[in-house]
Structure 1
């Protein structure tokens, strides 16, 4: 095809990825927000395009698309630009916009530049110190070579991937299986709504009493003459000030109770919606799928424990190993290298698509959860850095799911990294994330159970005084 044709394919795909990221940014992430900085959208879209291009080049390696020299050339360019983006551009922009949130720093441009530069250099120091604590690359590599940078980014990215994978392996079965759904009826919801409305009515009544007490106090202070003095003295000895203070304390307590009741009502309504959804065809399908992922989660936990205890790392990809087992135990006569390559290609495709989709959905939910007017720029830049780090680390871990031929190609491209360390580190963080997720979901499950069982208290008209 030639270098010109190969360049057109890569550039055209970059444009498509960039356009998709730009549209996704405007329609999903900033759908209900005003975009103030076009630079933020541009950097986010560039990071997404570079990340998708790495997966595209992995696919080209498997399908033998483009010339081998062109693939190697574009691998080096994409890796270099991605590393510069993740290590230099995004961290500096984050530092710059973080300082902009402080009014005493944002007024002076020189102070703001120096502050952001100091924050950026501090980040670079801790980023480079990662290489001292982890065996990520060979010591013979130079300071400016690919391997030390990829190794450090890989540690951060693999940690993020393991945390998300551990939480997802526990959260998906919990949210999709009907086994974990609490039995909630409309009577429970009505009782919770009744308690909430009683509390709100009490707050309104006490606020009216507070306004009247404060109005009487102002009138007594403004009143002149002999009878005004007598009225003020009478209020003082009658305890009007104490009454106002007591009312304020009661209102604050009831407002806190109302917030808790609102959360309980929301949990009950969500539980009822889960019950209704579980009775649909789609809900039953995801319920069966939840049992499958529950088994996968248990299997993955056991495998991670075995890998950690025995320092075991698979030398053969799962596809080839599975075909070897099928041939050995069932006597199938198949071309192992051919089918290993074909199934490996489809497996890589599924992993790529699900990784991109899952991360975009996670980033969108995370942005809506914590974004605000002042912090939206910083959050988007932070999510862009997480995305670039995540996808670059995915390529490192993707190597284990490929056949020996393609695994060798990725090894040559990524450099002399300690790949066994990344898989062992992934198992450790995955196990920690899984255990923590089980603990927190157990606490949340217990709170919902308590909220469900407490609805009977709402029938007592004096429950609020307990």
Structure 2
């Protein structure tokens, strides 16, 4: 491919990725611009991995493009995003004068830089032969944060997906259960309304002239006991309102479980139930292999695709071209990982944004999500290197620099194991509590 062809492919892909990022969060124009640039650069790193496998672009062009993207990503992760997050946070603090916002934002950014640099002290990632501004120093620290985030999400997802998609873990909710709970909730609302009506009548009568009725005279005579009665009624109302809130939340959970049971009977539900078995086996295997890797300090040196093809050739006796099929299967595997990573992270970020965002905090949340996304994708490239055949991971190793790749894989196994086991314990307790409620 000619130089102009390479440039055209690069520019076209950047425009498409930028447009994809632009449609996600429509808020402050500058914040949206930063998010879209970060999303475009993140997708471009995955694109370059695929280009490396199938041989698109000249090698020198790919190498330059890799360097440019990584330096730009580090510039955004370390400088742009933290600085503007500090600025918008301080803008939302009412007692901070406007003239002090920019100097204080710069001071907060300096604190972030100090903490970002110190994060490398407990880990074997420091390399004294590289300068402060080298790409190794930046990516090594970004990798620690990003790999930790990836492992936490992976551990929870590997456990939570089978739990939420398989009918085995779904609580059986009948129409009679829902009807009974609805009646109980309505009775509670009636009691609240009745007690509040009594409070209003007592207060109204206590404010009436004493000569109007015999009932008013009695209330005035026993005013202290009337006061205690109102106090008791109000206390009862508070208790009933709390009970109504709990019953309403339980009713919402029952309705959601009913919908899940109906969905599980559809073709899509049965498909996800079947996939849940696969993820259950994957979760068990991953927990087992992570434990083995941690105990024996083991890191794989051959990518899974090449290892699988070699086993097929040596043990089964298949006569196939290892290099040819390794390239094509690696391309397919990396493509699946890329698509699932981008889709999964964007869905998670979108749900998180709409769950906690507000008019004042939306810009801060979008910038924080952009920071998480950038670190996540940079770390994905570091870990994905192991899934590539040796001849294709060379350029990735060159552009990422002299990193301790084995450390990041071991660190991923440790955090994944902790996350998966913690998720199993948490979901077990939640499921047990839900079952006790049913009984």
- The TM-score with structure 2 as length reference comes to 0.95
CA distance in structure 2 between the partners assigned to 1:392 and 1:193 by the alignment: 50
After superposition, where does 1:317-332 map in structure 2 within 5 Å? 317-332=303-318
SS where residue 56 of structure 2 aligns? Answer: coil
| Alpha-carbon shift at residue 185 of structure 1 (Å) | 0.6
Question: Is residue 2:52 matched to residue 1:66?
Answer: no
Tell whether the 8 Å contact from 2:290 to 2:417 is kept in structure 1 after alignment.
yes
Q: TM-score, normalised by structure 1?
A: 0.90
- Pair 1:25-2:11 in alignment: no
Of 240, 252, 260, which aligns to 2:238?
A: 252
Q: Which residue of 1 aligns with 2:201?
A: 212
Which stretch of the first structure deviates more once superposed, 51-60 or 131-140?
131-140
Q: Is residue 350 from structure 1 mapped to residue 336 from structure 2 by the alignment?
A: yes
Q: Is the 8 A contact 1:264 1:448 kept in 2?
A: no
Q: Which runs of 5+ in 2 are unaligned?
A: none
Contact 1:192 1:261 in 2 (8 A): yes
- Work out the CA distance in 1 between the residues paired with 2:272 and 2:235: 48
Stretches of structure 1 that go unaligned for 5 or more consecutive residues are 27-34, 454-466
CA deviation profile, 1:23-48 (whole Å, cap 9, x unmatched) = 2334xxxxxxxx3x111211111111
CA contact (8 A) 1:268 1:451 kept: no
> What is residue 8 of structure 1 aligned with on the other side?
8
Q: Distance in 1 between matches of 2:437 and 2:252?
A: 10
Change (3 A) 1:416 1:79: same
Q: What is the Cα-based RMSD across aligned positions, in Å?
A: 2.0
Q: CA deviation at 1:276?
A: 1.2
What whole-Å deviation, never above 9, does each CA across 1:170-211 have from its counterpart, x for those lacking one?
Answer: 011011111111221100111111111111221222222233
Which residue in 2 is equivalent to 1:377? 363
CA distance in 2, matches of 1:216, 1:98: 53
C-alpha displacement at 1:283, in angstroms?
1.2
Q: Counterparts of 1:213 and 1:381 in 2: how far apart (Å)? A: 55
- Deviation of the 1:83 alpha carbon: 0.8
**Pairwise mapping of residues 3-402 of structure 1 onto structure 2 (< 5 A)?**
3-26=3-26, 35=27, 37-105=28-96, 108-217=97-206, 219=207, 234=220, 237-402=223-388
Shift of 1:226: 13
1:40-66 Cα shifts (integer Å, max 9, x gaps)? 211111111110111111111112211
Contact kept in structure 2, 1:147 and 1:414, CA below 8 Å: yes
How many equivalent pairs are there?
437
Classify 1:247/1:150 alpha carbon distance in 2 versus 1 (closer, same or farther; 3 Å): same
